[in-house]
Amino acid sequence: MAESTKKATLNIDGTTYELPIYSPTAGPDVIDIRKLYADAGVFTYDPGFTSTASCDSTITYIDGGKGELLHRGYPIDQLAGKSHYLEVCFLLLYGYLPTAAELEKFEITVTRHTMVHEQMHYFFRGFRRDSHPMATMVGVVGAMSAFYHDSTDVNDAWHREVAAIRLIAKLPTIAAMAYKYSIGQPFVYPRNDLDYAANFLHMCFSVPAEEYNVNPIVARAMDRIFILHADHEQNASTSTVRLASSSGANPFACIAAGIACLWGPAHGGANQACLEMLREIGTVDRIPEFIARAKDKNDPFRLMGFGHRVYKNTDPRAKVLKQSADEVLELLGVDDNPLLQVAKELEHVALNDPYFIEKKLFPNVDFYSGIILEAIGFPTSMFTPIFALSRTVGWISQWKEMIADPQMKIGRPRQLYLGETSRDYVDIENR
Ligand code: SDX
């Protein structure tokens, strides 16, 4: 925990209270209000936690003004350009870039955990074929706690390590199974001779009827998408995982809670919603109509893939994805994709519109990712499952950090109560 360097004073009804201020290695100072209710009998009020630090962490730092994202201090654009997903997983989990020997051991360990218990295949049979793959993933990942009892004791460091590896290794397998089930094709087992991204593509797109060779360009683009979605500080789904974990719930149940939260269109579901929006816009000449709707207070429509609670500049991940979209679509020979043209023109129009400029609304991670995923061959329903499997390492890294924190307490916010004060029950004959 940082040391208090200065104090804030709060005056309530003539009484002054001193609150410690801690200074971070980067970002805003924080005011410690933990004793405020005990000392002053008041709560703070911050729906949506726009001004609240829920924890201290050393994993990811975001500078929303600069549009900067660091994982253990390394800029996201450098990691996306020079690293690969399992190395980023090691970095997020253990806090440093591995040696070649450490990386090889980690990759072999993850690879050898990619299969799921054979009984889990039967879980899928209980779902309708047209279930959204996110519904299947929430159910099957939660059910992992019914299979892997030897890694559910959160107080055992070895259990925590095994659970982390199992989740990172098995989420692609489960996501691919959810996809195969939704299209009526047989499940494809993972292969130990393929790297993480290639294995996922193999499990999604190969069929027993013919040989499937992974396109290395597509595999690289897939791996880059995994990296760009790996972690993002205390976002809604990560905060969900932390809150669920604070009660001592097992890691599989907590990650299932994170998947459920990520599904929302304001969060990880935005990549699906964004591509559906681009498809609805259809052509560049319809962009003004949708920009007007996004600005209309009486219209609930929002520009999906735009805006962010933290970034008040372009999301650095969106910059990398925009470049990757150009590269992948050109290499795949689909660079005339009308959706990409609409997306680029929509971004240009919005970034020059006073409404978006004043409200600091820029493209976020979800704006271009769907275009790449569709070019690779995924249906929109698989966009958020891919976000979920990518973010599992971030959730589990934050989970491990919280569990190991001696300050950890069960999360239990209070409220501003505006309901009825105490009143007597009225018998039904008197109502
Ligand atoms: C992710 O937190 C994370 O880190 C998340 C994430 C991660 O990696 O985990 O980065 C992933 O979730 C990215 C965001 C994906 N969601 C979308 O693209 C959905 C569209 N965006 C919005 O719903 C919105 O921008 C949010 C939810 C992302 C952020 O909302 P905030 O911070 O609560 O801001 P707000 O809703 O209070 O909006 C501020 C103003 C409002 O206008 P006023 O009421 O002040 O007049 O901006 C407007 C909003 O109406 N606004 C938009 C808009 N986003 C905000 N207007 C039109 N289109 C939009 N997209």
pLDDT digits (tens, 9 = 90+) for 361-391: 999 999 999 999 999 999 999 999 999 999 9
Q: Closest ligand 1 atom, CA of 229?
A: 8
Q: How far apart are CA 148 and CA 196, in angstroms?
A: 22
Q: Which of 46, 308, 315, 335 is catalytic?
A: 308
SS3 114: coil
Residue 92 contacts residue 72 (beta carbons within 8 Å): yes
Q: Is 304 in the pocket of ligand 1 (CB under 6 A)?
A: yes
Output the six-digit token pair for 100: 């070649």
Distance 299 CA to ligand 1 centre (A): 15
Cα three-residue angle 47-49-27, rounded to 5 degrees: 155
Output the six-digit token pair for 428: 């039904």
Q: Is 317 in the pocket of ligand 1 (CB under 6 A)?
A: no
Element housing 74 (H / E): strand 74-75
pLDDT, position 337? 84
In sequence order, the β-bridge partners of residue 17 are 10
Q: Is 364 in the pocket of ligand 1 (CB under 6 A)?
A: yes
Q: Is 361 in the pocket of ligand 1 (CB under 6 A)?
A: yes
- Token pair 């989970």 is found at 399
pLDDT, position 1? 61
Question: What is the distance, to the nearest Å, from the Cα of residue 323 to the centroid of all Cα atoms in its chain?
Answer: 21
pLDDT, position 411? 96
pLDDT digits (tens, 9 = 90+) for 214-266: 999 999 999 999 999 999 999 999 999 999 999 999 999 999 999 999 999 99
Output the six-digit token pair for 220: 């690289």
The segments of the chain whose pLDDT lies below 50 read none
pLDDT, position 25? 95
Residue 262 contacts residue 268 (beta carbons within 8 Å): yes
Distance 266 CA to ligand 1 centre (A): 7
pLDDT, position 146? 92
